[in-house]
Amino acid sequence: MPRALLILLLTTFLSSTLLADVLVLANKDRITGTLVRQEDGKIVFNSDLLGELIVAADVARVEVPKAPAKKKPDANYKFKPLDLRTAAKDPQQAERAERTEWVRRMEFGFTSQSGRAEKSDLAFNFEAGRRGKRSEARFLARYLWGESNDDETSDLIESSLRLRRNLSANTFAQSSTRASRDAIKEIDLDGEQGFGLGRNFINTDSVVLAFGAGAAARYRDERTLPGEWDYLVDCFQDLRWEINPRMSLVQDASMVVAPANRDDYKFRINTALTGKVTDAFNMTMRYEYEYDRTLDLALRDNQRIVTALVYVF
């Protein structure tokens, strides 16, 4: 018998067995088939091998297979755009699109190395996002800690909030707020508030690529210097690419420059490749790079590669 035909027959048999009713007798014998009816204390059961059976209900029972559970929607940060023509016909659907629920992600990564050097790194990220037909919100918080040969190499707490409002199909206004504390760089508070405009140059179900620019105000309080306000111009770029149903790529980049001081600028890039394990758990490999020209030479650039477990809820 050809192998393909054998596999087909086995698949058909197993499928029919899993979906069939089962008559369980008092001696634990199990007979597959179809329940015809159950009344007056009797069970009428049709078996493919034994034909129609009539047994007393007090000495047997019937197990009916449960209907397959509906697939849980993929919990990620990508929401399919609303069809404007459908929304025009169904205003309630447009209203529901505005109330899209928050999607939350917790990401935890830890690295420990021993031998010629004793090194430990910990990275924790929390993200909450919500995207509707006209607006989008994303909150990020992260904690980074590292130690090498009993010396701390990183100790950073940072949070940010980004709000976007669509002005047209591909143009949006953006507000971004960020605050951080970095013990290694001796920065007690580094806060920025920016406003800008952006455009989606690619906007499909699987790929969204956006660029934009704006202005920002920054307040920085360093441990050895008094707090100071600066005014900046900034530009940003972000990419969301759903490679396939189980893998996606997210990349964000930004740059801020102080027009009054050519040595005052900062560049950062964050790229994450995420693979879906289950609806609730993902694995992420993240690359982060940051360069801050305002700091001492030894502290200006910082880069890391983190492999982390992600919980989506």
Residues 56-84: pLDDT tens digits?
877 778 777 655 444 444 444 443 444 44
Predicted local distance difference test score (pLDDT) of residue 20: 66
pLDDT at 76: 43
Model pLDDT, residue 18? 47
On the 0-12 / 13-18 / 19+ scale of CB atoms within 10 A, 212 is buried
Domains of the chain: 3-63 (2.30.30.100), 84-312 (2.40.160.40)
pLDDT of residue 1: 43
pLDDT at residue number 70? 46
Share of the chain above pLDDT 70, in %: 81
How confident is the prediction for the chain on average, in pLDDT?
81
From CA 5, how far away is CA 3, in angstroms rounded? 5
Residue 4 has which token pair?
A: 């393909």
pLDDT at 24: 83
Give pLDDT, residue 269.
Answer: 96
Q: pTM of the prediction? A: 0.66
Which helix H or strand E contains 68, and what residues bound it? none
Point out the residues of the chain with pLDDT beneath 70: 1-20, 48-49, 65-100
Write the CB contacts of 239 (distance below 8 Å, at least 6 apart in sequence): 207, 208, 209, 210, 249, 250, 251, 252
